[in-house]
Chains A and B, each alone.
Chain A
Amino acid sequence: MAAYLFRRLVQSALILLGVSFITFVLLYVLPADPVRQIAGRSATQQTVENIRHQLGLDQPMLVQYARYLSGLVQGDMGRSYLQKTEVASLIAARLPASLLLMAGGIACELVIGLSLGVIAALWRGRALDQGLMVTSFVAVSAPQFVVGLLLLYVFAVQLGWFPIGGYGTFAHLVLPSIALGIMGSGWYSRMMRSAMVEVLRQDYIRTARAKGLTRARVILRHALPNAILPIIAMIGIDIGIFMGGMVVVESVFGWPGIGQLAWQAIQRVDIPIIMGVTLVSATAIVLGNLLADIVTPFIDPRIKLR
């Protein structure tokens, strides 16, 4: 276990190194010149060169990358070009809002997805099952920004139950969480349905019924836990999808998270922020995958760590 964990951690670190290098190269070769953005239109050639030199942007790319990396291992993600603030502190200020939204999205995805999946499995082959499975297809085909705008229109503008965007209270969290989680709930309901159908076919379920346990008890105590755990372990893999969805949902609802930070930075060619957010997201994705791989064998002993 320790050896496995060590190997996976090294692998993850290498992947993150690769991500940082590719992002750096992409941003380095980009045609938009950040120095022009900082200096403004009326700046003289001399001023532009001075700023370029100050930021170290006149150095060869590999030197710049090495310098970035050496800062990174000391916890320094550089300074924003335009806001003159530490990138690490900008991200740290925005991260809680994003984590809150992600938690809301995951909760929504699981509650809707798993319960619909169980219901569909129990009513397998009937109209209810078919209806739910069509609904799940609609959910995975719905663009998040359209869902977000629809929720805003119906529940905030028309009914006035929730605030129109913003951040602060629980009421602010509800609509963005649904917008973020609805697509995943479609996938989860399908996975949950087939997991549940599979478990209900097993011999031990028939045995439990034969012992005289009620159907409800068999489902709740025997079938559900066995079907649900492997699926919950998959959340780790979803982090990447959430990271993408966050940019969209935060933009629709004006949610002050790292998605918005990244989006604004991209528009202003503020490279250190783009780098920082990409790396934070990639770290979350890698850790999520790692967690899913580590947890799964504990849940399902038939799966072994390799």
Chain B
Amino acid sequence: MMAAGRQALLEVSGLTTVIRGAQGAVRVVDRVSFSLSPGETLALVGESGCGKTLTALSLLRLVDPPAEIEGGVVLFQGRDLLQVSARELRAVRGKRIAMIFQEPMTALNPVLTVGEQVGEALRLHEGMSRRQARARAVSLFREVGIPDPETRVDEYPHRLSGGMRQRVMIAMALACDPLLLIADEPTTAIDVTVQAQILDLLRRVQQERGMALLLITHDLGVVAELAQRVAVMYAGRIVEEALVEDLFAAPSHPYTRGLLASLPAVAGVAGRLRAIAGSVPEPSAFPPGCRFHPRCPERMERCDQAEPAFRARAPSGGVACFAREAEAGGGAA
């Protein structure tokens, strides 16, 4: 799955995170592999409970019990983040890899001014003085389009609107010039006209800075606007990966096909939507074999017994599905 010819910035292989419960451990992130080149945007897309957020948190070892990383390799600039010391990890988090979250109000500290919060990372990672950090915060606020930044840095989060708070979060993430930004549902809680502003801002800062972006979202519209490559997750596994144009033009996995067909904009205005039967399973009830098989219109005999392997496809991407394997020539293993 590596983008050919370029050195990967981030290379994840076999990442597995489990949740330990009464009935034993459930693999909620199950052998997830993907890579990201410098400056590239990869979207990790899926419905609630598919493990996309937990995948992102696992990359930075931010999971708490009962969730636990069980295995895998997360190579960032050649070093395995799952193996480095806590101290080395702290030097990476917030500096070379930054993260923004869905709900900016809960991610911001209510008793510190937004300028102090942006400055915190600069003082910690860059050793700036209080005054230097404030001046840098003002210029970051200007970069992310916050009007009147000299006054705004001294405001508390509750005084700002949802859109402004998300801009503050982005300014904070950009403070130490990260190489990779992980954005978890960055526009989900925001009104659509403001969402358009934030998507525009993310696209601009990414291009200007040549930063890689790992975008985590359930919104295929946002994926189409921002991403170059897409990995589709279902019930803890990546079921398909493709270039964004290919995924929308010719989806391979029955789940991806179903997801795209269920969107109202795609179906005729008067017709019925083509829904996927059933619902997303809870982790405690993940089915055996291919986890999508109970809802799959192309289900075959062995789908409930064996798990289809992820088969790479030229020039990029791949799919994990027995039906596609059969089409490709009776299982070209």
Are A and B genuine complex partners?
no
